[in-house]
Amino acid sequence: MSPEADSQPDYIAEFVADMRAYGKSPSTVYEYERVLRDFDDFLDGEHADADRRDCMRYVAHLRESDLSSSSVATYASYLHRFYSYLVKAAEYPHDSNPMSLVTDEMDESVNKNPRRRELDVSDVSGFLRTVNHPRDRCMLVLLFKTGMRAGELVNLDLRHVSLSEENDERFGTGGDPLLNPRSLYVDSGIDGNKRVRDTLVPVDDEVERELVRWLRVRPSTDADALFVSLSPASSGRLSSEAVAEIMRKYTRNYGWWSSENDMRQNVTPHYCRHFFTTYLRDASGDDAFVRYLRGDTGGDILETYTHNWGDRVREKYEKYVYRLLA
């Protein structure tokens, strides 16, 4: 970095701070900052004075790397948005975006419909066997076997979880009066649970085994949450961002996540929801049943699957859901 760079404004830091303030997801903020810092390093810390030719040189540098053409276009779009924002915010000493002409002339384009990674049950089973931590494996099993969103997972309290009678008594679970035996209650009224109506998701033997494995070592805490932080500084409820980061740690090590991938290729909590939906819909042939489990429906279909729940939902779920750690 040149001596002059030390005194230049850090527009990247300002942009990233604004992205957080506008409520962008932590993963989005992380990706923008990573690319922008790489660009800044390429220019020896002089992003504040970048011109069109600097941007062209960086794009050429990206093309010479192992990135896909879609990733090159994505990185270029990050730079374009960065400088466009600075110009609009009137906080940039130049009156034009140095990336505008560069992106207009690029042949590469972002793949708007990249092919999703294709996994089968044996692939997921092999992955989960590499996860030994009781809490983390339990969370991942639940994501794959229930189709819950990460936000819905972290909103589960102990009272929302019903196990066998013996385990409920042992671990203090199953306190919600709306629960059915051996089920998970996803309350649509809780902020972050994006469901049309409340949903009861069955707990099969495999899920109960993973829940018990976690509850045996779950720290004693005043928190009602099923999944809590293990940090000495915080024993409270995990956030959905924390779940995404925990999953990213394992999928990155397993080769199922990379910042250079198109996002549909990365295995994330949202990917688990897609996997669950696709598999159960194909196996059962019952779209309404799957929409009920996902919490996407109400009205007549909801009544169909809430009346005599044990016969209509549990039996069908246990018949068609996959076993991941059998």
33 against 326, higher pLDDT: 33
pLDDT at 56: 93
The pair of structure tokens assigned to 129 is 């066997």
| Digit-coded pLDDT (tens) for 64-108 | 876 778 788 888 999 999 998 888 876 666 778 888 888 888 887
| Digit-coded pLDDT (tens) for 103-128 | 888 887 766 656 678 899 999 999 99
pLDDT at 3: 44
| Digit-coded pLDDT (tens) for 135-157 | 999 999 999 999 999 999 999 99
pLDDT at 101: 86
| Percent of the chain clearing pLDDT 90 (strictly above) | 47
CATH of 3-105, one of 1.10.150.130, 1.10.760.10, 1.10.3720.10, 3.40.228.10: 1.10.150.130
The Cα–Cα gap between 229 and 49 comes to 43
Within the chain, all domains assigned CATH 1.10.443.10 are found at 121-320
pLDDT at 113: 58
| Digit-coded pLDDT (tens) for 164-207 | 999 999 999 999 998 999 999 999 899 888 888 889 999 999 99
Q: pLDDT confidence of 227, banded at 50, 70, 90? A: very high
pLDDT at 1 over 50: no
The Cα–Cα gap between 221 and 157 comes to 13
pLDDT at 42 over 60: yes
pLDDT at 92: 67
Q: What average pLDDT does the chain have? A: 86
pLDDT at 302 over 70: no
Mean pLDDT of 152-163: 97
The Cα–Cα gap between 58 and 65 comes to 11
Distances (CA, A) of 193 to 1, 181, 187, 243, 310: 47, 22, 7, 15, 23
Give Rg (Cα) of the chain: 24
Q: Does domain 121-320 have CATH number 1.10.443.10?
A: yes
93 against 316, higher pLDDT: 316
pLDDT at 260: 74
pLDDT at 292 over 90: no
Amino acid at position 255, single letter: G
pLDDT at 306 over 70: no
Within the chain, all domains assigned CATH 1.10.150.130 are found at 3-105
Contact between 114 and 271 under an 8 Å Cβ cutoff? The reply is no
pLDDT at 95: 75
pTM for this predicted structure: 0.66
Contact between 206 and 324 under an 8 Å Cβ cutoff? The reply is yes
